Amino acid sequence: MSRTFNRNQMRQFALFINRVNQKQTVEASYYSLVEAGIELVVRAKSIRFAFERECNGIRKTIDQEYTIPPSLKKLYRTIEVPDPEGEKRNEERANRMIEECRKIAAEIGFAVYVQGDPRGCPIYLYLADEVKEGYRIDSLYQTIGIPVPID
């Protein structure tokens, strides 16, 4: 499958790969970093879409039939109702994508922080030894983490 990037996305991706290359502790070729970066971007976009769907509420559309006097034909109207099966599928897909991101990041020596707000980057890479004792990554991810570009 071919992936295309516009100029701004290419610039963000290049900055991302450069930051990862500077911070990495595991010996990896630049080519493998770019491959891993592309896979992380694709999965981060899927994760963000899943978070957006979860935030907006997953609904399905059904046709509701109703009749008016017999002299008139049946009319249909479309309504939206909650979709519990869709919510479950969405959550499973997001969890699967997050696990795949963790595996890819581990191959290049990074850990993954998942930020669940759909308005920002959902995936940040960080080095586990950068989190000092007594601190948690959820308070440091914006300063020590490298956001995976999605736009």
- Range of 121's domain? 7-56+85-147
Q: Is 66 in contact with 42 (CB distance < 8 Å)?
A: no
Does residue 30 belong to any structural domain of this protein? Answer: yes
pTM: 0.79
- Asked if residue 33 belongs to a domain, the reply is yes
Q: What is the pLDDT of residue 94?
A: 94
Per-residue tokens: 34: 């770019």
- The most distant pair of C-alpha atoms in the chain lies apart, rounded to whole Å, by 78
Looking at the domain assignment, is residue 64 inside a domain?
Answer: no
Of 91, 111, 93, 92, nearest to 102 (Cα)?
A: 111
Query: CA 38, CA 46: separation in Å to the nearest integer?
Result: 13
Domain membership of residue 115 (yes or no) is: yes
Alpha-carbon gap, residue 92 to 99, rounded angstroms: 11
Does position 12 have pLDDT exceeding 90, yes or no? no
Given a contact cutoff of 8 angstroms between Cβ atoms, the answer to whether 149 and 124 are in contact is no
Query: What are the pLDDT digits (tens) for 22-45?
Result: 887 777 777 788 899 999 999 999
Residue 44 forms part of a structural domain = yes
Number of structural domains found in the chain: 1
**How does the average pLDDT of the chain come out, rounded?**
83
